[in-house]
Amino acid sequence: MNQENSQKTILALLRSALDRWCKGDTFGYADLFARDATYFDPRTETRIERSAAVQDHFRQYYEGKINVPRFEMPNPKFQLHGTIAVLTYNWYPFSGDGERLSGWNATEVWQNSDDQWKIIHGHWSLVQPK
């Protein structure tokens, strides 16, 4: 697998899904999860398992509730090992006035299967100031 192409492919999938997320549509991001994926975020009490449950979780907490005109995801990093890519990044949503609304740490473990990249584990958490 070509490393540069893998990174470009994953980032394109992700940016497109996060663009939809920022308009309140969580289904694009949910669609990136593999059927047997696992997931953590600040609203989960315990690990969520399987993509259907991830989709339900997004629908319950976030669907239609997000309106972010702009985001930044500085300095994404890939750790590629065969068919597995560990992607880590910070994610910053901004208001229309240019105010940073929050800061997130994001981990996604992607797997390439049948020439398709899917997230097999996601973990989102809030950056907490010192």
Summarize as ranges the residues that interact with a second copy (CB under 8 A): 36, 38, 40, 42-47, 49, 75, 77, 79, 81-84, 86, 88-90, 103, 105, 107, 109, 111, 120-121, 123, 125-130
Choose between 65 and 130: whose C-beta lies nearer to a second copy. Answer: 130
**Closest separation in Å from C-beta 62 to a second copy:** 13
| DSSP, residue by residue, 33-92 | EEEEEEEE-TT-SS-EESHHHHHHHHHHHTTTT---SEEE--S-EEEEETTEEEEEEEEE
Q: 123: how many CB neighbours lie within 10 A of its CB?
A: 16
Choose between 20 and 124: whose C-beta lies nearer to a second copy. Answer: 124
Choose between 3 and 69: whose C-beta lies nearer to a second copy. Answer: 3
The SS3 call for residue 26 is coil
**Closest separation in Å from C-beta 1 to a second copy:** 13
